[in-house]
Structure 1
Amino acid sequence: MIVFGGVFAVLVLLAALLFISIYNGLVHKRNAVENAWAQVDVQLKRRHDLVPNLVEVVRGYAGHERQTLTAVTAARAQALGAHTPAEMAGAENALTGALKTLFAVAESYPNLKASQNFAELQEELATTENRIAYSRQYYNDAVLTYSNAIQTVPANFIAGMSGFTPREYFQAPGEERGPVQVRF
């Protein structure tokens, strides 16, 4: 009986250690997702901070392009109000479209294009766009790792008991998934 009690105690101890190990791994993966989301947020904030400066520079050269400037400002406000990955993807898509229009307007103003301030802001925005793309990819990779962890055996039992829930991927809106049309 003593041997059976000792074996049982060892099995309970091993089960407890396994539970703790799996639980801690899930916590680490969930925190990695939250950290990755924070990095996306940091890059989007950086982008949002650049937009008013860009609008002001363009306004100085092309003040009568009010509709374009208003669209950029409205898209930025919408992006600042988004919270979930789906909301952010839609809002950021609208902001990207508005910025493309702004840069198209800038093409009509040679003095604006030659402005060092405009060129620096444009370069800063391009760098930020690259950082945003990387941050989104990193976030989605963290979500994938976390999703795999909470959906595979035996961690899925512990995840279910402990309240670990799936996270949403940062996905491109539907129209960005289709083929790119090039017209000459």
Structure 2
Amino acid sequence: MDMMTLILIIILILAIIFIVYTFIHLYNNLVGLRNRVENSYSQIEVQLKRRNDLIPNLVETVKGYASHEKEVFENVTQARSNVMNATGVDETSAADNQLTGALKSLFAIAENYPELKANSNFQQLQTELSETEDKISYSRQFYNDVVLKYNNACQQFPSSMFAKWFHFEKAEFFEAPESELEVPEVKF
């Protein structure tokens, strides 16, 4: 074997090692990103569960002061049930938005009852719920950031080839409802 053949074989072996390493890296990157999407979605679910656990206490506290507001309590209870039974990003997002609207109605009722607003249990629940809403908002943003990174990896060359070959599916973003996208009207 002459020196030129040996050099070509070494170059060929190094090229094969580089290509295999690149393929392994691209595949592992897609797996890691997909797992981050799943993990970040589960973090949203953790915060939604925490909020769902607070809601019955909040409803019971308000009921003690405003028992005649039956429709609002039923709406909150139904919306909470919808969140707990939701599957997938789209369904969870829609149910979560419904619950947020129902909670706004519940807090609007509380405004009519000064003694309720002064109740320390109600204030504590309201604070915890507010903090949880902030965590949910942060978790949604983090989830959407991870989804963007994952979807980019699935669509950009050369990792898009692996995404197609190994069936890495596009992830869905957690989206706000159309009603929250409208510009509010301000009047003085």
Q: Note whether the superposition's TM-score is higher than 0.5.
A: yes
Q: Which residue of 2 aligns with 1:79?
A: 83
1:64 corresponds to which of 68, 74, 87: 68
- The alignment partner of 1:61 has SS state of coil
Q: Deviations over 1:12-34 (max 9, x none)?
A: 22111110011111111111111
Q: Deviations over 1:76-100 (max 9, x none)?
A: 0011111222111211111111111
- How far, CA to CA, are the matches of 1:180 and 1:85 in structure 2? 27
- Aligned-pair distance for 1:172? 0.5
- Aligned-pair distance for 1:181? 2.8
Superposition misfits of 4+ residues, deviation over 6 angstroms = none
Q: Which residue of 1 aligns with 2:172?
A: 168
Per the normalisation by structure 1, the TM-score is 0.94
Which segments of 5 or more consecutive residues in structure 1 lack a partner in the other structure? none
AA in 2 matched with 1:162: F
Superposed CA RMSD in Å reads: 1.4
Per the normalisation by structure 2, the TM-score is 0.93
- How far, CA to CA, are the matches of 2:69 and 2:86 in structure 1? 27
- How far, CA to CA, are the matches of 2:70 and 2:115 in structure 1? 18
- How far, CA to CA, are the matches of 2:178 and 2:91 in structure 1? 13
AA in 1 matched with 2:38: E
1:44 corresponds to which of 44, 48, 71: 48
Identity in percent: 47
- How far, CA to CA, are the matches of 1:89 and 1:182 in structure 2? 27
- The number of residues matched between the two structures is 184
> Which one has the largest radius of gyration?
2
Q: Which residue of 2 aligns with 1:33?
A: 37
- How far, CA to CA, are the matches of 2:61 and 2:187 in structure 1? 30
Q: Which residue of 2 aligns with 1:147?
A: 151
- How far, CA to CA, are the matches of 1:94 and 1:180 in structure 2? 19
Q: Which residue of 2 aligns with 1:17?
A: 21
